[in-house]
Amino acid sequence: MKKTKTLLSILISVCMLISSVQLSVFAIEICDGETATYNITVDSGSSKVTSGTKVPVQVSWANLNNGVIQTSEAITMFGKISVSSSTYYRIRFIINNADTVSSVYGTTASGTRINFSKSDDYSSGGKKYTTYKSASSGVLTGIYLNLYHTHNYFGSTVYTEPTCTEPAYAIITCKYCHNQIKDILAADDKQPLGHNWTEQAVIDEPGCESEGKAAFVCLRCGDVKEDSLPATGHHWGGGTVVKEATCEESGIITYTCKNDASHTRTVITDPIGHDWNGGTVMEPASCEEDGLILYTCDNSPEHTKTEAIPATGHMPDKIEAVPATEEHEGNIEYWYCSQCDKCFADDMCTVTLAEDDIILPKLPPKYNVSVKTDGNGTLSGDISGEYTKGTQITVDAVEAENSIFDGWYNSNNELVSSSISYSFAVDEEVELTARFKAYSKGELNADSVTDINDVTAILGYLSGTDFMPEKWSVFADIDGNGEINLMDAYLLFCSLNSTTD
């Protein structure tokens, strides 16, 4: 206890220094308590305020902390007004010795503020009044006093006992304004005692779905509290199957609460779902087309389903290109899928190839072609060489001045063509010879002998029975006069006889 009193003494001293507590209405006494007497002067010609009229007096207190007014509290009181003929207003009031006036002012009906300054003190009836007078006049509607003081806590200390919810306190009171300070006592036995509740008393029994209610009474302070009791919840039995669930349809089960038979519930059970077997392949998948598999439900065999088997896709192997020869066929480069036995032009298998697109036929055979003359003419070019079977060749013979083309002959001395320009397709070994008939003066039938037959040729030509090529005329013109006539035949005949003799 001594320690507690020492702590209180320290607190009181600190409070006196910092004045950090509220003030109350008891810190001021206006005149004799109920009313204050004011001497107020109103200018001539203005409305008068009758002596004894009550006007509000606003009294404001503030705490003092290190000489600075911190907070204020305004309390409206009423005082009687006295009117005199002075040109200023005087207010008289009594305050506690601990209080200090910070300011006094009045207000008029128009809101004008009239300040008051301290005047001579006034004593009457054994009481000393503090007097303030105004600097100017007007019709006052209110007077305001602003006061402050420092608390004085040198007084008696009251100790309380702890309760269920409050600790024990030491309480000290300001002797001027009766403001109080509570100090919580720190001893363990001075802390809140807490409630001493009785056993719960059930007011409302809980139901399956509704809460109940219980009451408790504190044996120490008599406080009563209520608390809710949780709902018991339903106690469902095993339930009755109304409808069995199938693979695709829900089932129905009903339940009855064992706590309250009026409570029932119906539960829709999920379908049990299909139990598909491993499936039977109806159509196997190919490289490019899906297959088909059939599943049967083991729960209910009438339930079936089909699913697509994804196409396997091609698995091509690259086949290198092989050139064709005369003995063997060749092939182009391609890709072959052994799964579908198809050939493709690319490794992505986007272009399908037929066998004819792949196989390169055997190369056709080549044959030697020999083309020559019998020496009495020439060829237009060198045609001889090796040619692929089927190659189309054209050979042209060129006659000399003293020869006429006779024909193309093969190696068997057989006439192949009488045309000076001969075309043929190579399909075997070929040996061609261009033969020409050579002519000289008087030698007109190309038999290499000048005889009576040549004379007959001239006569036949002159008679019109035999044809003579134009170029032969140079050989039949024996006398060289540029014409063929009987003289040429005679001269040739004479030359024969001369040769014979």
| Strand ordering across the sheet containing 342-344 | 316-319, 334-337, 342-344, 352-353
Distance CA(418)–CA(432), nearest Å, equals 12
Tell me which amino acid residue 381 is: G
Contact 457, 476 (CB under 8 A): yes
Closest CA to 176 of 70, 58, 64: 64
Buried/exposed 206-231: b ≥16 CB within 10 Å, e otherwise:
beeeeebebebbbeeeeeeeeeebee
SS3 call for 224: strand
> pLDDT band at residue 119, thresholds of 50, 70 and 90?
confident
Mean pLDDT, rounded, of the chain: 77
Buried/exposed 425-443: b ≥16 CB within 10 Å, e otherwise:
ebeeebebbbbbbbbebbb
Closest CA to 56 of 92, 113, 106, 103: 106
Distance CA(461)–CA(447), nearest Å, equals 18
CA angle 38/40/42 to nearest 5° reads 165
Tens digit of pLDDT for each residue in 323-367? 999 889 999 999 999 999 999 999 999 999 999 999 999 999 999
Per-domain residue ranges for the chain?
22-149, 240-269, 280-309, 316-360, 366-438, 452-500
| Token output for 455 | 């004379």
Angle between helices 486-500 and 452-463 (to 10 degrees): 170
Higher pLDDT, 500 or 286: 286
- The model carries a pTM of 0.33
Contact 119, 133 (CB under 8 A): yes
Closest CA to 78 of 115, 30, 111: 30
Count of beta carbons in the 10 Å neighbourhood of residue 405:
21
Tell me: pLDDT of 9 over 90.
no
SS3 call for 392: strand
> pLDDT band at residue 24, thresholds of 50, 70 and 90?
very low
The confidence score (pLDDT) of residue 96 equals: 63
Tens digit of pLDDT for each residue in 191-216? 998 899 888 888 888 988 888 899 88
Mean pLDDT of 105-114: 79
User: What are the beta bridge partners of residue 265?
Assistant: 255
Tens digit of pLDDT for each residue in 150-181? 667 766 788 888 999 889 888 887 766 667 78
The confidence score (pLDDT) of residue 353 equals: 94
The CATH T-level fold of domain 366-438 is: Immunoglobulin-like (2.60.40)
Tell the burial category of 287 from Cβ atoms under 10 Å away from its Cβ (0-12, 13-18, 19+): middle
| Strand ordering across the sheet containing 291-296 | 280-283, 291-296, 304-309
Contact 129, 32 (CB under 8 A): no
Query: Which segment of 101-105, 252-256, 319-323 scores lowest on mean pLDDT?
Result: 101-105
Higher pLDDT, 108 or 374: 374
The confidence score (pLDDT) of residue 499 equals: 55
| Cα Rg of the chain, angstroms | 76
Tell me: pLDDT of 476 over 90.
no
CA angle 206/208/210 to nearest 5° reads 55
